[in-house]
Amino acid sequence: MLLRQEGAAGTLLLNRPRALNALDGDMIARLDAAIAQLRDDPAVRLVILEGAGGRAFCAGGDVRRIRELALAGDAAGIHAFFAGEYAVNAAIAAFPKPWISLIDGVCMGGGIGVSVHGSHRIVTEHALLAMPETAIALFPDVGTSFTLPRLPSATPGAMGRFLALTGARLRGAEAVEAGLATHFVPRERLPALRSALLAGDPSVVEDFAEPAPPGPLAAQRPAIDRCFGATTLPAIQAALAAENTDWARNQAAILAKMSPTSLAVTLELLHRGSTQDLATCLATELALTGPVTQHPDFAEGVRAVLVDKDNSPNWAPAPAQIDGFSVG
């Protein structure tokens, strides 16, 4: 990660382009130190966070490494990784200056965590946002158990449940519609916006932002509210069956491929998060990282999606309870 001061801006560049800027332990530690430095520097009026390489803002956390630690039985290493990452998420949420993320490319998992708690999440037409954790038997973390239940929905919580359970991928404009992003700026205008921000005035974002062009998400919102307004997995599945559309059948098929344990934990986590503050949500998530990564589904999910890439996980049956979470 590269830290510079440019004009009145502190600029942070996530710089692991060959790994799509996925967060490893070293990058998390550097982010933590940079946040403290920028917070206390009176010459810095705002922060700009970017990803190197042109393909990704940040593809998430280094879950392959977490899998290695899990297979080695290194619970302390797993806890240290997530504790560090979640501390960065909390520090961004508490940051007293504008925190402006320029999201142009893939932004998933941990990438959401270092952006969504800031003041400005600017996306281009090439941005792709998602919380895909249920596909690897993890759960939406990095404070999104606070964020997702609060996304705007006609039925409270429906949009968050939809994104969390299915891992739906949102193009830039759709991320604005969903509430994960705050502004849409076409890629061609991003360099000029960045240059303007170096003067230290975040209001210039409004001069470059454009109304988000309507995408598929806008058309799907009524069905999302009807189907994912339900709060249990059987009720969601029943609502999708009753919907009887290609979209609903696709969502049902996606859910059928996910870890049953992960789906159940995720639903309970979002339910709790809807009434908790961010600090409590992060503490709950941290407490879950140990038992969930020790469950055999986690290693199997990462293997299927990221290691062997056969996309054919062999899930274990859902246990009755994980760390006090009823998943039966």
Catalytic residues: 61, 110, 133, 141
Rounded to an integer, what distance in angstroms lies between the CA atom of residue 2 and that of residue 94?
A: 22
- Counted residue by residue, the chain has a size of 328
Q: Which of 161, 116, 120, 158 is nearest to 139 (CA)?
A: 161
Angstrom distance (rounded) from CA 293 to CA 141: 13
**20 φψ region: left (φ > 0), alpha (ψ -120 to 50), beta (else):** left
Nearby residues of 279 by Cβ (< 8 Å), 6 or more positions away: 90
Separation in Å, CA 320 to CA 260, 296, 300, 327, 328: 11, 15, 19, 5, 4
Cα–Cα distances in Å, from 175 out to 43, 120, 168? Answer: 32, 13, 11
